[in-house]
């Protein structure tokens, strides 16, 4: 007999439709901040999570969790909820996320002030950050801010650890050469509205 599929915090038709409505409403109110008309598809979220190595010690920092589709994919990837620290600017999304994932520490704050937001979660004495997984709409910010975000992340990571970002654009949200990193990109995920791809930045040794 086949095993029943375990339900996730973001499963179900009702959830999906409600999340789409929430996104659309927030996008109408704050298009630049929300950055998308709909949540990412599970396919895109799983692809992002696939670049996180669950064996690498340290916290996984998530930026812009929205309604939690990437958070869910990280947990399914084998990252314990307590190992994630997730920063979301939207107060309503934060309240929803805390209900959905009670074991994940969500910080209501600005991801571009990452140090401030994760202080107390990622202590100096612990391991460096294992990965940063970002769904932020980076193109709505000037390039120096994007570059600073990447540099701030790399300062907390060991060489080789990934900063993972999705985008709908043809070009990298942080141009290669703007800072010292190695760049990898995925193929297009067509089962996403609109199609998107994943960019992986790694600090050089
Ligand atoms: C494109 S949505 C992605 C949401 C979700 N991860 C997904 O893939 O469906 C971007 C998210 O980033 C959040 N966000 C935008 N700017 C932010 C900032 N400066 N700090 C924290 N969160 C931010 C938005 O509120 C929104 O939830």
Nearest-10 Cα torsion for 185, 53, 126, 8: 100
User: Does 166 score more than 90 pLDDT?
Assistant: yes
pLDDT band of 179, cuts 50, 70, 90 = low
Contact criterion met (CB below 8 Å) for 102 and 45 = no
- Rounded to the nearest whole angstrom, what is the distance from the C-alpha of residue 179 to the centroid of ligand 1? 23
Residue to substitute in 23, 31, 64 for testing ligand 1 pocket (most ligand atoms within 8 angstroms of CB): 64
Extract the tokens encoding 61: 């920092």
Residue to substitute in 66, 113, 152 for testing ligand 1 pocket (most ligand atoms within 8 angstroms of CB): 66
Domains of the chain: 40-203 (3.40.50.150)
- Structure confidence by residue, pLDDT tens digits, 32-71: 988 889 999 999 999 999 999 999 999 999 999 999 999 9
Q: Give φ, ψ of 40 to 5 degrees.
A: -65, 155
Identify the three-state secondary structure at position 83.
helix
- Rounded to the nearest whole angstrom, what is the distance from the C-alpha of residue 89 to the centroid of ligand 1? 7
- Structure confidence by residue, pLDDT tens digits, 133-159: 999 999 999 999 999 999 999 999 999
In which element (H, E) is residue 97 found? helix 91-100
Quick one: pLDDT at residue 122?
A: 75
Rounded to two decimals, what is the model's pTM? 0.93
pLDDT band of 203, cuts 50, 70, 90 = confident
pLDDT band of 126, cuts 50, 70, 90 = low
Quick one: pLDDT at residue 71?
A: 98
- Give the residues surrounding ligand 1 with Cβ less than 6 Å away: 33-36, 39-40, 63-66, 69-70, 87-90, 93, 110-112, 135-137
């Amino acid at each position: 007999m086949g095993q029943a599929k375990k339900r996730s915090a973001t499963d179900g038709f009702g959830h999906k439709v409600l999340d789409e409505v929430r996104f659309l409403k927030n996008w109408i109110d704050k298009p630049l901040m929300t950055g998308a008309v709909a949540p990412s598809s599970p396919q895109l979220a799983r692809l992002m999570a696939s670049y996180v190595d669950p064996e690498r010690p340290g916290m996984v920092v998530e930026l812009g969790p929205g309604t939690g589709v990437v958070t869910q994919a990280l947990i399914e990837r084998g990252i314990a909820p307590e190992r994630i620290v997730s920063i979301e600017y939207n107060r309503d999304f934060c309240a929803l996320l805390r209900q959905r994932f009670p074991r994940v520490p969500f910080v209501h704050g600005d991801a571009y002030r990452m140090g401030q937001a994760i202080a107390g979660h990622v202590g100096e004495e612990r391991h460096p950050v294992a990965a940063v997984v970002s769904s932020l709409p980076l193109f709505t910010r000037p390039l120096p801010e994007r570059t600073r975000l990447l540099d701030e992340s790399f300062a907390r990571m060991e060489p080789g650890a990934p900063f993972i970002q999705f985008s709908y654009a043809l070009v990298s949200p942080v141009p290669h050469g703007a800072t010292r990193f190695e760049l990898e990109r995925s193929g297009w995920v067509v089962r996403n509205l609109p199609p998107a791809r994943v960019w992986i930045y790694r600090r050089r040794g």
